Amino acid sequence: MKQFIEKLSSKYDLQEVVYQRDNLVFAAISKENAIDAVTYLRDYEGFTHLVMMSCVDWIEDGKFQLLYLLNSPDLKSDIGLKVYIDRENPVMDSAHHLWKQVWTYQREIRESFGIDFPGSPRIEENFVVEGWDDKPFMRRDFDTHEYAQKTYFPRGNRKTNDPAEYMRKKLYPNQPVTAKQRKDDK
């Protein structure tokens, strides 16, 4: 794997290189070079299979991180390329000319995070929810618990039981086992 990273670093600027296993390596690359690097890996180095494209919301740094995970069937190894884009104005180039299936991932990311991929086919259609008019729901500043309480008529008095504790109290009511359980029973 080292030779691919060296070839890539000679062309583009790579940060945060992590050799996780001997067939899995992650690297961070800038937004302008991302599609070039992915094309280079697909056409010249044999990483022809796109495993997935996912997104992480780093709200403290004000960035979204896109991950392109490529796999080479001949070498049976993976390369993950991370791309950081701005959180206030999230736009990224589309990769649908490289792999046809990427339009699904891009449609899902647009619905859940709000990142736009101009040019991707069927990008504006719904993916998971219909009739969604609030902010994109996978962002970390969207409080899903509060939204559910507000919209969906919650029934109060929720109680949760730890199954092991509950069964112990039911089956063996008079036998505390550890000091903590003795304390809890009081």
Partner 1 sequence: MSELDLNKKTSEMLAKSEANAAKAEKTFIRPEDEEREVVAPDGSIIKVNPIYDYFSNEKPKEEKPRGGVVEKFLNWARAESIWVLGFGTGCGSIEIPPLVTPRFDMFRYGVQMRPTPRQSNAFIISGYLSVKTLKRVIRTYEQMPSPKYILALGSCTINGGMYYDSYSTINRLDKYIPVDVYIAGCMPRPEALLHGFVKLKQLIKEGKAEKANEYARNFDEYKANQKKIIKDWNMPDYNW
Which residues of the shown chain bind partner 1 in the complex (CB under 8 A)?
Answer: 128-133, 137, 142, 144-145, 147-149, 151-155, 158
Q: Which is nearer to partner 1, 26 or 137 (CB)?
A: 137
Q: Which is nearer to partner 1, 145 or 186 (CB)?
A: 145
Q: Which is nearer to partner 1, 76 or 158 (CB)?
A: 158
Q: Which is nearer to partner 1, 3 or 151 (CB)?
A: 151
Four-residue CA torsion sign, 91, 44, 98, 58:
negative
Rounded to a whole number of angstroms, the minimum distance from the CB of residue 103 to partner 1 is 20
Rounded to a whole number of angstroms, the minimum distance from the CB of residue 153 to partner 1 is 5
Rounded to a whole number of angstroms, the minimum distance from the CB of residue 158 to partner 1 is 6
Rounded to a whole number of angstroms, the minimum distance from the CB of residue 143 to partner 1 is 9
